[in-house]
Amino acid sequence: MIENQYHIVRNALPHDLCDHLVVESFVYNKAETAKVREGKDNFHTDPMVRNTEVVFHPCKSDLGKFFKQNARTANKQANWFFNINRIETIQILKYQPSSFYNRHIDLSVPTGKGYHQKQRKISCSLQLNEPNEYTGGELALLDIRSKENDIHELHLNKGDLLLFPSFIPHSILPIGDGVRYSATAWIEGLSFR
């Protein structure tokens, strides 16, 4: 059992860079409806599970380096010591009124063959705007040590980065008013054995 279920880096990214990511993503790109994965290679929209807008950001970017470096640091500081070595994808997300993402895990079906199979190990969520700009929208992380299915409703400020093992169930609670922006990424490594 892991001791630390999550790790938060406060003020990980300056506010002006958070603003830049939002503008760059949603003014200069066409957002698409976020999909859910079913099986290894099947992705589809399912508004009963997730109804958010997404823009994909290149992994080989400064933001990709930011996520990888913070994941390496959190991996040690939280005593997870997962074998991690690459970033899988980066999504910039927009949650509008009534948007949500039901409870799920980010752990992926291993990709690759034999010893070289890769799997998501660390999930990263970067808050891109202030929580007073919307109501609801908390990231709810299941307390895996609790027998009562307790959750941690995590309140992140603009620029805060949350990292947690990808096998922990979590959700984004419905937005009541306003808009919530975040960036997510997944750090992979050789499959859990």
Reported as a single tens digit per residue, the pLDDT across 129-146 is 999 999 999 999 999 988
Token representation of residue 55: 């823009």
pLDDT in tens, the chain (193 residues): 688 999 999 999 999 999 999 999 999 899 998 888 776 677 878 788 899 999 999 999 999 999 999 999 999 999 999 999 999 999 999 999 999 999 999 987 766 676 667 899 999 999 999 999 999 999 999 999 888 878 888 989 999 999 999 999 999 999 999 999 999 999 999 887 7
CB 107, CB 166: distance < 8 Å: yes
Q: Which pLDDT score is estimated for 43?
A: 81
Residue with tokens 């807008």: 53
Residue with tokens 């880096």: 9
Q: Which pLDDT score is estimated for 39?
A: 67
Domains within the chain, CATH numbers bracketed: 7-190 (2.60.120.620)
Q: Which pLDDT score is estimated for 155?
A: 87
Token representation of residue 77: 């500081």
Alpha helix positions (H), the chain: 15-26, 62-77
Q: Which pLDDT score is estimated for 108?
A: 75
**Helix, strand or coil, per DSSP, at residue 51:** coil
Residue 101 neighbours by CB under 8 Å, 6+ apart: 34, 49, 50, 52, 171, 172
Q: Which pLDDT score is estimated for 87?
A: 96
